[in-house]
């Protein structure tokens, strides 16, 4: 697995479609991901260089990078590239394939099976991924990644909700399996007014 993940996120991301992320009894088959290319990518947490918050993004590959967003949500990423180079793949959405009852208990606001893991925060909640899972080895840790046996056909487009240059059509680094009901709807970034 680490051989595959030692490549740039833009190459690896579409290959993760159909992969299964498993935490205990709950498993999600990935249907949507986004690539982030580190210090050269204005949408990446590593764009301004290495710091305490993003250190896991700098490797080794095959580990989990988690972060807290909007003061309430945990999101999860698969780290790519050799150690010392930041690159990661945001797990955006998926279909719950094991442990649906547990996932539904965690996601009580969910209205339909398809939206249990539709969106990066929902996916993390459904799986039970926590902020302190950061740095977990995806082969042997609490959070496991099972690569697909074959690669799914996919579509690509701009990343969802990324503001500034990194959210433009010049960065078609969001990948999804067409026709999958668990894929989150595309939302461009909303420019916030400053007071």
164 conformational bin, left if phi > 0, alpha if psi -120 to 50, beta if neither? left
**Tokens coding 48:** 């301004």
pLDDT at 123: 96
Residue 180 DSSP one-character state: -
How far is C-alpha 99 from the chain's CA centre?
20
Query: What average pLDDT does the segment 99-107 reach?
Result: 91
* 143, pLDDT greater than 90: yes
Residues 6+ apart with CB under 8 A from 36: 9, 43, 44, 45, 46, 77, 87, 88, 89, 90, 173
pLDDT at 111: 73
Has this prediction a pTM greater than 0.75?
yes
pLDDT at 54: 85
**Tokens coding 11:** 């190459």
Give which of 155, 122, 136, 115 is closest to 34, Cα–Cα: 155
Residues 6+ apart with CB under 8 A from 163: 189, 190, 191
- Domains of the chain: residue spans and CATH: 2-176 (3.10.300.10)
**Tokens coding 185:** 């709807």
Band of the pLDDT at 38, cuts 50, 70, 90?
confident
pLDDT at 167: 65
Number of CB atoms found within 10 A of residue 132's CB: 10
Element (H or E) spanning 78, and its range? strand 73-79
Query: What average pLDDT does the segment 83-101 reach?
Result: 95
* 171, pLDDT greater than 90: no
Residue bearing the bigger pLDDT, 99 or 169: 99
């Amino acid at each position: 697995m680490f051989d595959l993940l030692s490549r740039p996120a833009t190459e690896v991301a579409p290959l993760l479609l159909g992969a299964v992320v498993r935490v205990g009894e709950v498993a999600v088959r990935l249907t949507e991901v986004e690539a982030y290319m580190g210090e050269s990518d204005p949408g990446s947490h590593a764009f301004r260089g290495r710091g305490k918050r993003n250190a896991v993004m700098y490797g080794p590959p095959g580990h989990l990078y988690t972060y807290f967003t909007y003061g309430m949500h945990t999101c999860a990423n698969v780290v790519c590239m050799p150690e010392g180079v930041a690159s990661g793949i945001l797990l955006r959405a998926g279909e719950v394939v094991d442990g649906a009852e547990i996932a539904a208990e965690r996601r009580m606001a969910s209205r339909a099976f398809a939206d249990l893991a539709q969106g990066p925060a929902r996916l993390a909640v459904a799986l039970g991924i926590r902020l302190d899972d950061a740095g977990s080895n995806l082969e042997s840790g609490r959070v496991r990644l099972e690569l697909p046996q074959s690669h799914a056909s996919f579509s690509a487009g701009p990343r969802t909700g990324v503001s500034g240059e990194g959210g433009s059509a010049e960065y078609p680094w969001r990948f999804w399996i067409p026709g999958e009901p668990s894929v989150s709807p595309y939302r461009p970034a909303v420019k916030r007014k400053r007071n």
